[in-house]
Amino acid sequence: MVAAIAAAGGQAVAAGGDVADADEMTALFDAAERAFGGVDVVVNTAGIMLLAPLAEMALDDVDRTLRVNVRGTFVVSQPAARRLRPGGALINFSPSVTRLQQPTYAAYAASKGAVEAMTLILARELRGRDVTVNAVAPGPTATPLFLDGKSQKVIDRIAGAAPLGRLGTPEDIAETVAFLAGPGGRWTNGQILCANGGIA
């Protein structure tokens, strides 16, 4: 990806880390500031989706889900809140499934409900900073996270539930993120923006 961006005339660096590790995320922000002089947009997409009926789900899986989805969002949001420059944007992710009450999604939906709460509160805590904080709530989207472990019959049924009759694409979601990150999204703040084709 870095090479593709450079080939197109852009500038990019790659840095990794555990989203739930505060030291590693601080280092990530440091790397961005060294390369670009500051941080203007943070898109916080890391997440895992472990599914099982609530009564049967292993507590280790619950802990893993909360560590990545809740603690990870919190850990990334802290330096974002401190270091985003005026005019900046923090964009979290919380799926539309939090509104659907689907069996087996209890831990995942609960973790993402926490992401929504953090998003709405942080937007208000950053009053006066000229930094927007929103969440994108995709519906079913044709990504490996969604498709993994599902039969084609199940995928087709879910796609058919949307009024538009299809799954979302990564490009659909990227356009929503680009809106929130760009000048057109500056008056959108403290919102959960559903990009789900009308499924919920």
Which residues are catalytic, by number? 108
d(CA 92, CA 88): 13
Q: Which amino acid is at 14?
A: A
Q: How distant is the alpha carbon of residue 67 from its chain centre?
A: 15
φ, ψ of residue 91 in degrees (nearest 5) = -125, 110
Q: Are the beta carbons of 85 and 44 closer than 8 angstroms?
A: no
Q: Which amino acid is at 150?
A: K
Q: Specify the DSSP class assigned to residue 168.
A: B
Of the candidates 84, 91, 92, the residue with the CA atom closest to the CA atom of residue 39: 84
